[in-house]
Amino acid sequence: MARRPFTPKVITANALLEGDVVYFTAADVWTRHLAEAEILTDEAHADLRLLDAARQADQVVGPYLADMAEGADGPQPTHFREEFRRTGPSNYFHGKQAEH
Amino acid sequence: MYRYNDFDAAFLAERNAQFRAQVARRIDGSLTEDEFKPLRLMNGLYLQLHAYMLRVAIPYGTLGSAQMRQLAMIADRWDKGYGHFTTRQNIQYNWPKLPDVPDILDALAEVQLHAIQTSGNTIRNVTADHFAGAARDEIEDPRPVAELIRQWSTDHPEFQFLPRKFKIAVTGSPRDRAVTRAHDIGLRMVRNAAGEPGFEVLVGGGLGRTPMIAKVIRDFLPKADLLPYLEAIVSVYNLLGRRDNKYKARIKITVHENGIDTVREKVEARFAQLRPLFSGVDQQMLDGIEAQFAPPAFRNAPVDLFEAAYQTDPVFRAWADVNLTPHKAEGYAIVSISLKKHGATPGDATSAQMRVMADLAERFGHDELRVSHEQNIVLPHVHKSDLPALYRALRDADLATANIGLASDIIACPGMDYCALATARSIPVAQEIARRFEDMKLEHDIGPLKIKISGCINACGHHHVGHIGILGLDRAGVENYQITLGGDGTEDAAIGSRTGPGFAYDEITDAIERILMAYLDLRSDPGETFLQAYRRVGADPFKAALYEAPAEETREPAHA
């Protein structure tokens, strides 16, 4: 079976103290804003960056690579789960949608 | 209600202090997340999609006014001003911050509440009939037994690391309002030939990816044998239950793979060993607990005010017809307060609503509230003369929706709006269905109906036992909803049958409408419920309506 091509990704996690959805930037810091996340297009580099992110376990919980598309305004979620994580719940104006 | 003794209070204080230290060690880096995760889960703390979630036990669904007010205070001080009542008689806070959780647990302890064993592979919060102590059809109040089980199971050294989570439900009535047949152990109070109360013991029920109805392991268990028999069951499960595959680890699989006869044989053998070790202290404790659950002092008073309002106020009458249940005491009623206002999130209450319900319980309800597994709140003991005033107060607080047991009284798990395990959303689907039937003014005509929605195969929304069940799944990156029909969570429990291919998010409400329009056409008379009609005619006419009829043709109500 042919290996699936690597698609663009960002590293995301939840902040240790607040539980907020956070994204890893190219400057090795965590941001609440997806637009500021480092977009990873090379698989080997992505794996290395995930190791870098995992080393910051005093700040975050559960970092992982999330699929994204490259858009004019930065990374865009390709799956509805990441879209909900980017915005917040459907039933209340809570979470990130209320913070901007 | 059960009141903590000195041991209970000291135990909880010590436990909270331990967790406070564990949180501090996680924050200062002394504990890794792998080390900390099992510790936080043992204290009900999850990490969900957008934030932490704290699951607080409401043992057997019973709350006093002071406890409800404290839940409201916590919602205001450490969350976003609301709480979510769940199908397992818990309340969940969706937005706590990790450093605040020890303070929240201390605030809970002030009113004798906790979050212990609301997560993890252990015996979870014991649930019970939400009408316990009030229902006219009851043999005995099951809550003293549920409290005894809580005390026995809390921090039980043998049962902290079971193969998987373990859920026990108790009912004292022949009518099963606790879904006992879908629990790991279900206890149904019955009488033997001599008229003595005891339990029919059911084992191996459960929903999730492999739904199963529990099997009878004992037709009649004397009350005095309850704890040693429960210990025997859990002990055998602890030994036999599979740990190689978490999807096959629940006791339902143990019963399925070994057979109920083999499991019964092993349980009886273990019971024979354990029985002599229970010296009777458990029964002395039960006596003390039962005394604390003595019924309130019911008053003898005329019900003229109720009768007058019922005759003259059609809106009050509509609410009373749907939201009241007969009470065992003359002149009293059980009041169900709907947390399912059309378009609202099923099971959510604001802190202001919690305080209103606490005040009303204090004024009219002998200081008692219950959380139902159907995500509503119950005032179990209200004199009928107080009902008009109670209704007005509920109406002012947006809590007087007359839809208990109807199409919009939907159980819905949090789904992908909150839950890290979910694969699709539940809440907006429930909201849209409820709004649709409110717009069509059809749900009173449709009558008793259980719609239940889960956002993943774990089935927290009990969709398998919904008359209409909806299961949200991820199909190639798109939310998709499968429908099951004919499920039943009562004493006649049944698992619903899947109708066929699922529906897209924007198709599912139309699909449910087509099923219910078909029901209105198919029913033999207005008294035949959806479930009765389904059992009479089978699935085919509903499948035909679902998959063959164009949506446009079914939008006009056939029986409006």
* Percent of chain A predicted with pLDDT > 70: 98
Sign of the torsion formed by the C-alpha atoms of B549, B550, B551 and B557: negative
* Helices first, then strands: H and E counts in chain B: 18, 21
pTM of the shown model: 0.95
CA distances from B163 to A27, A96, B57, B243, B250 (A): 43, 37, 21, 5, 7
* Helices first, then strands: H and E counts in chain A: 3, 5
Whether A27 has a pLDDT exceeding 60, the answer reads: yes
Whether A2 has a pLDDT exceeding 90, the answer reads: no
pLDDT at B386: 98
CB contact under 8 A, A16 and B99: no
Residues from chain A contacting residue B95 (CB–CB below 8 Å): 19, 94
Which of B56, B271, B229 shows the shortest CA–CA distance to B145? Answer: B229
What's the rounded Cα separation, in Å, for the pair A21 and A94?
A: 13
Compare CB distances from A61 to B47, B418, B479 and report the shortest one's residue.
Answer: B47
Q: Which residues of chain B have pLDDT under 50?
A: 551-560
Per DSSP, the three-state class of B165 is: coil
Beta strands per DSSP E along A29-90? 30-31, 60-71, 74-77
pLDDT at A80: 95
Residue B286 carries which DSSP code?
A: H
A15 touches chain B (CB under 8 A): no
pLDDT bin (cut points 50, 70, 90) of residue A1 is low
CB contact under 8 A, A19 and B47: yes
Q: What angle do CA B354, B358, B363 make, to 5 degrees?
A: 145
**Looking up tokens 């559960």, which residue turns up?**
A62
CB contact under 8 A, B50 and A91: no
Q: How many residues are recorded in chain A? A: 100
CB contact under 8 A, A19 and B51: yes
Per DSSP, the three-state class of B66 is: helix
CB contact under 8 A, A91 and B48: no
Q: What is the chain B residue with the closest CA to A84?
A: B417
pLDDT at B311: 98
pLDDT at B548: 76
Instruction: Name which of B31, B49, B481, B506 to mutate to probe chain A: the one with the most chain A Cβ atoms within 10 A of its Cβ.
Output: B49
What is the ipTM score, two decimals?
Answer: 0.96
- Mean pLDDT, range A13-36, rounded to an integer: 97
- Mean pLDDT, range A28-38, rounded to an integer: 97
- Report whether B516 contacts B549 (CB < 8 A): no
Q: What is the chain B residue with the closest CA to A81?
A: B416
pLDDT at B554: 42
Token pair belonging to B186: 């279900």
What's the rounded Cα separation, in Å, for the pair B252 and B213?
A: 9
pLDDT bin (cut points 50, 70, 90) of residue A99 is confident
Report which secondary-structure segment, H or E, holds B531: helix B530-537
Determine the distance from the C-alpha atom of residue B215 to the mean position of all C-alpha atoms in its chain, rounded to a whole number.
Answer: 21
**Torsion-angle region of residue B343: left (phi > 0), alpha (psi -120 to 50) or beta?**
left
A93 touches chain B (CB under 8 A): no
- Report whether B541 contacts B522 (CB < 8 A): yes
Residue-wise pLDDT for A41-77, tens only, equals 999 999 999 999 999 999 999 999 999 999 988 999 9
